[in-house]
Amino acid sequence: MRIIFITGVSRGLGAALTRILDNDETQIIGFSRSKGEFEGVFHSCDFSKPELAASTLDQAFQEADLKNADSITFISNAGQLSPLDFIDRLDIADIHENLTSNLVGSSIALSRFIKYTGDLDKPKLFIQISSGVALPERVKPGWSLYCAAKAGQEQLIRTVATEQSHVPHPAKVINLNPGVMETAMQQLIRSTPKSSFPGVDRFIQMKEEGKVVDPSVIAGRIANAIDDYDSLESGKTYVEAEFQAN
């Protein structure tokens, strides 16, 4: 039996992952603010409240039968795009919530994963769902917080991969850029006024041209990545297209 932890399971990519990965040989443990239609082992978790999130993760890891699992995977998928606007127009509380939910939340999830699986000699994989906006050439005006958080998450993964090279039973930690898919995040982007996001027309055009795929397509490719564990390089950033079925 493999164990897969997934954050943000109530909708979008997280919900699609729970459906794609669920089978008789998998136990899925989900985290999000609301349960949605998720039917696995669920923990209510708000990553904008780091102390509570850490306590929830501690409980989930302690309750899971990690020692008898064939493999352990953690997919850090939960994320917050809003608010979209130029930095000088953002409220301090919104800045704090965004960066806490995204960057601090991912750091806490990764720290708990390493802590509770560190002594186990078995396949262990942490997947940080990233974004193209983590790259310097892909920054977008109006997205300063999200861009900063995604860049920070990627560097976090690279650093922890280096740390893991110094321990007896290392976990593999990777970034995975899922590309553009139809989620509530995309709907928010397309509804944002040009004054707050000058590049909104491109996202509207992609939708009109059918270039925004269903999350189930991306979830399938992430499932392929998990199955391709042996070939994964810790610390690397992958794009979803690398795991298309042949």
Q: In the predicted model, is pLDDT for residue 245 greater than 80?
A: no
How confident is the model over 121-133, as pLDDT tens digits?
999 999 999 999 9
Omega before 83 within 30 of 0, i.e. cis: yes
Residue spans per domain, the chain: 2-179+214-243
How confident is the model over 171-203, as pLDDT tens digits?
999 999 999 999 988 999 999 999 999 999 999
Which one, of 67, 91, 66, 80, lies nearest residue 5 by Cα?
Answer: 66
What CATH number should be reported for the domain whose range is 2-179+214-243? 3.40.50.720
Report the predicted TM-score, pTM, of the whole model to 2 decimal places.
0.95
CA distance 158 to 162: 7
DSSP structure class, residue 213: B
CA distance 83 to 67: 41
Which one, of 82, 92, 159, lies nearest residue 128 by Cα?
Answer: 159
